[in-house]
Structure 1
């Protein structure tokens, strides 16, 4: 189409159109180049900020506070540059465009969170590094509880800021396209969540540890060594015990003794009608062998404290640990050498204490010698930990791993300390809340040591979030891996427990096992299938959770599959499947939608 007034030239060749059009085109190209430059700047600086942040964390854990502060400052500088790029004019213009600007809006939010993380968390925690770095905090077996207490207000503020920043990170909008940006968002959210949790625990430890470790006067604790070759709710049978005394952060251990010292008449205590109804027939508060059938550690702790006090030992709390935890500790401290020259290492500690020792001392009359052997191992490990530790960080990491696997449990008779403990995995409690829950608790009914050979698989599956209730299934597979029962002593592979003798021939090496499922509050049992056959279950309640118990016999080399079909209320919260700290392998699978109702 032409216009005679403009010489018949097409519209795109007219002078009044060409120059404005070229100007707009050039402006768009310039904005595009500027935006590309800013995007590259933001990406580069965010990556450098992340690298510097990781270097700051590593330096802090190594006790190198100078490098930690320097890397934290680098992270803050790069984060500031990234934020400036993400708030530039072309970035803001594009971010305001529906759909097209979605990744840019996400990138702008990411840069804000990273800057806040660097300035409000990394730099302050690096400044506090002199106190919280393991090499400064733990020296020659003593924890500097005074310095930890002095730093507690600063650590609490940092933890509060980390929690606030994590909430900001979780609120970052997902981009409508550009997978790389969404991946960066997810990674940041995961990192801020982990860091907030870590700092919350650090602040909590700074508040709790000084009083528990003797900053205000000596504290004493009963130590229970659990033998999880014979399963109990909190892990394993109480195999031996001792007393540790803390004075201003320095531990001193005495009174190491075998469990035979508890073969005496105790005055029972009551832990309430619910506990008494479920466990009372086994005399748990007067027979140490049945004292920790419940997985709720405060129950066992109160019983052990009562037994200790009736034996003339006054304690302020209770600590429990198992041979696997000892192996982690030996990995950090190095091996110990026994008086006879035998070396106990991280690699042989579990097998030596939970298998070899029983073969070495196979007869009932040999058991005092076996218990003395295990007691000597515990004494050597304690001596190693309470002396000079080459790498405090490695020791704290080992203890942290044991705690995360519920292999170290702590209870305090001081209500204010116990309330704080129950905010941590150390308390090993059955939570009294309504969120989805499936805890499988195994107790050995045979009085043998066959749970060293027990493998477990646990699967918790539930329907969606529609309506008031949904169907759920908890599948438990227990495998008896014993391959040559005849080579095992009767003390290991026989049957001396209280389970009624089943009919028919029962070969040596057979497991007699109680399997208890603690389910979501308000859940109802539809049925239980054992290897495809419906079986009956004993129903109780423990700390608001319904409890369904079945008893099973597992032959050597066989697997028993128990399937609990349930109807459970639809409640908010992520599903939890706590794992009982036994020796053998365990795998868990959770397919439970998280509801918001």
Structure 2
């Protein structure tokens, strides 16, 4: 076999760094440029993936759960921060709103004083400030953070109550206060008063429409505010109650002012539609030394005529029993309640027509008696007493009567109610002096009142408030406007405006009540679960007479007992306690002689006889209707003698 030569495979050519082939077997081998850091990173990633592939499912779930919790915590933190920011916003806004509302409440109280003082410029300034504070409060509570706050559990209703109260007041600021400000000019006492026997009312008649429109808005707002329920926060509830009470006072003021502005021009013949018709009024001069529920016996009757504001006083006279109703007529003249409480004497004796504390009822009886006497119709009835006359004399100065007696602001009540009955022994002398004094004091007042308007208005305001001046109109539309005001002297039948009455009728049949000291107080006691409130009425009567001095006086002063014998200084008084409408007499420390009804009001009756120096005390608890809400009970009583 011959040996074959097998060629070896060729060696691939080598390239140089420049890219050219080299046949040099000793050429160096080139290695890639590798970064150790990159290699280490790849190794770590490989290790991580190998590790993950080795984790259990539970471990993975735990890792995911931790991530979810971390995200939730972050979200919760953000939410907390948002809530903190909102709370801070609400807190700052609430403080501003609170400050503005407190200022508004203070101004609301101030408005009443400004109106009474007759300072027109101050009234307008007060109304403007009140409006500004309400607007500023509303600007705070209408912010979005307040709307969000109403959605919070439990306390959201509190925020809602505040926003609703402020919204109501903002409506008043927009729709009522501008009209009040415009009407303030009509209340300027520089244009209201008496000058040369003529009453001037300025622009009151023109302002009546604006006042009435403003009062309607305020009255509706007052009802809405009282319907806002209590909150869960005592401080907030107290603030709302305080604001509601202040606004209620303002509402009462605007109601009275609007009614007076509507009625007075008509009653004084100064309204545009009065057709220059004269008005004639019956004037009852009550004598407080012999008590009656509305003041004292109507000892002297006279007339007051008004023609386009011009006043003229007629002759006063003592009434006659012949003017009165007979016993038989009294059965149909009086109601069943009146006959039970006051007997037929309320219609058969002129001294007793005001046994009832309801002055409109007394005025109607007086009108009928005056007509029976042949004096014709009257347009209304006015009631005054020596306390009112004495206050007027403090404005006009003293008056010298035709018999030389000087009556002043210091002695008029004492002379008319006491000294006359010591100095004059017969009833004829006493009646003559009393009627002369009433007529001449009125004449003096009408001619000496010029330029003293502010003082005159203050006297009228005070006398209306404490019951020394009453007015009744025979014109139904006018009386309807007067009915719910203090000047009407009407029994209140409104459970939402509770009134407890404490009245007195004299049974001494003399003039001993000058010596009867009366102290009547009312204090809040508690609130029942139903919302009805209970009050404590404390009554104390004291006979302050000196037995020796009064027994030296004429019999007509000391009075007569039920057998017709002259008394020895004792005072016999019938006490009437009227519970509020839809309220009740809860309990008492001294038994009543009877408990009955009058005009659907519960009445407790007690006769008290006191010897000189003796006192009588009783404590009675009364409750008001739950519908009274936050309205405080008012105590009304037989007018006191200064």
Q: TM-score, normalised by structure 2?
A: 0.72
Partner of 1:355: 418
Kept after mapping to 1: 8 A contact 2:199/2:309: yes
- 1:478 to 2:555 alignment: no
- 1:152 to 2:217 alignment: no
1:499-537 CA distance string (max 9 Å, x none)? 2369xxx9721113334455678999999986xxx7865
**In structure 1, what is the Cα distance between the partners aligned to 2:150 and 2:504?**
56
Which is worse superposed, 542-551 or 163-172? 542-551
Partner of 1:511: 571
1:214-243 CA distance string (max 9 Å, x none)? 242111111111111111233211232321
Query: Which has more radius of gyration?
Result: 2
Kept after mapping to 2: 8 A contact 1:229/1:582: no
Secondary structure class of the residue paired with 2:191? helix
**In structure 1, what is the Cα distance between the partners aligned to 2:626 and 2:159?**
36
Which is worse superposed, 212-221 or 23-32? 23-32
Partner of 1:554: 610
Kept after mapping to 2: 8 A contact 1:152/1:206: yes
Kept after mapping to 1: 8 A contact 2:104/2:133: yes
Partner of 2:290: 230
Partner of 1:398: 459
Kept after mapping to 2: 8 A contact 1:231/1:582: no
- 1:449 to 2:508 alignment: no
1:120 to 165, 172, 175: 175
1:61-120 CA distance string (max 9 Å, x none)? 555545544553443334323222222233433443224556544443443344333333
Following TM superposition, by how much is the alpha carbon of 1:447 offset from its aligned partner in structure 2, in angstroms?
2.1
Change (3 A) 1:236 1:43: same
Following TM superposition, by how much is the alpha carbon of 1:277 offset from its aligned partner in structure 2, in angstroms?
4.2
**In structure 2, what is the Cα distance between the partners aligned to 1:294 and 1:98?**
55
Following TM superposition, by how much is the alpha carbon of 1:363 offset from its aligned partner in structure 2, in angstroms?
2.6
**In structure 1, what is the Cα distance between the partners aligned to 2:364 and 2:285?**
16
**In structure 1, what is the Cα distance between the partners aligned to 2:114 and 2:599?**
43
Show the 5 A alignment for 1:97-108: 97-99=152-154, 104-108=159-163
**In structure 1, what is the Cα distance between the partners aligned to 2:443 and 2:387?**
15
Change (3 A) 1:233 1:55: closer
Kept after mapping to 2: 8 A contact 1:494/1:509: no
Show the 5 A alignment for 1:52-91: 63=118, 65=120, 68-91=123-146
Partner of 1:408: 469
RMSD: 4.8
Kept after mapping to 2: 8 A contact 1:478/1:559: yes
Following TM superposition, by how much is the alpha carbon of 1:195 offset from its aligned partner in structure 2, in angstroms?
1.7
Secondary structure class of the residue paired with 1:379? helix
**In structure 2, what is the Cα distance between the partners aligned to 1:463 and 1:67?**
39
**In structure 1, what is the Cα distance between the partners aligned to 2:90 and 2:583?**
56
**In structure 1, what is the Cα distance between the partners aligned to 2:584 and 2:231?**
42
Kept after mapping to 2: 8 A contact 1:125/1:158: yes
1:6-34 CA distance string (max 9 Å, x none)? xx9xx99x997998777656645544543
Secondary structure class of the residue paired with 1:244? strand
Secondary structure class of the residue paired with 1:512? strand
Following TM superposition, by how much is the alpha carbon of 1:497 offset from its aligned partner in structure 2, in angstroms?
3.6
Partner of 1:590: none
Change (3 A) 1:294 1:70: closer
1:462-487 CA distance string (max 9 Å, x none)? 999799xxx99987543212244425
**In structure 2, what is the Cα distance between the partners aligned to 1:188 and 1:33?**
25
Following TM superposition, by how much is the alpha carbon of 1:489 offset from its aligned partner in structure 2, in angstroms?
4.6
Secondary structure class of the residue paired with 1:407? coil
Following TM superposition, by how much is the alpha carbon of 1:38 offset from its aligned partner in structure 2, in angstroms?
2.4
Secondary structure class of the residue paired with 1:556? coil
Following TM superposition, by how much is the alpha carbon of 1:580 offset from its aligned partner in structure 2, in angstroms?
1.7
Show the 5 A alignment for 1:132-143: 132-138=187-193, 140=195, 142-143=198-199
**In structure 2, what is the Cα distance between the partners aligned to 1:177 and 1:275?**
47
**In structure 2, what is the Cα distance between the partners aligned to 1:52 and 1:389?**
32
1:275-324 CA distance string (max 9 Å, x none)? 78458976554543333323333443344334434555333221111222
- 1:500 to 2:568 alignment: no
Partner of 1:293: 355
Change (3 A) 1:385 1:39: farther
Following TM superposition, by how much is the alpha carbon of 1:159 offset from its aligned partner in structure 2, in angstroms?
0.9
**In structure 2, what is the Cα distance between the partners aligned to 1:288 and 1:191?**
43
Kept after mapping to 2: 8 A contact 1:221/1:316: yes
1:417 to 478, 483, 491: 478
Following TM superposition, by how much is the alpha carbon of 1:440 offset from its aligned partner in structure 2, in angstroms?
4.4
Give unmatched runs, 5+ long, in structure 1. 585-597
1:318-356 CA distance string (max 9 Å, x none)? 11112223344445x2532425584611x5433333234
1:384 to 445, 450, 455: 445
Show the 5 A alignment for 1:528-543: 537=594, 542-543=598-599
**In structure 1, what is the Cα distance between the partners aligned to 2:365 and 2:264?**
24
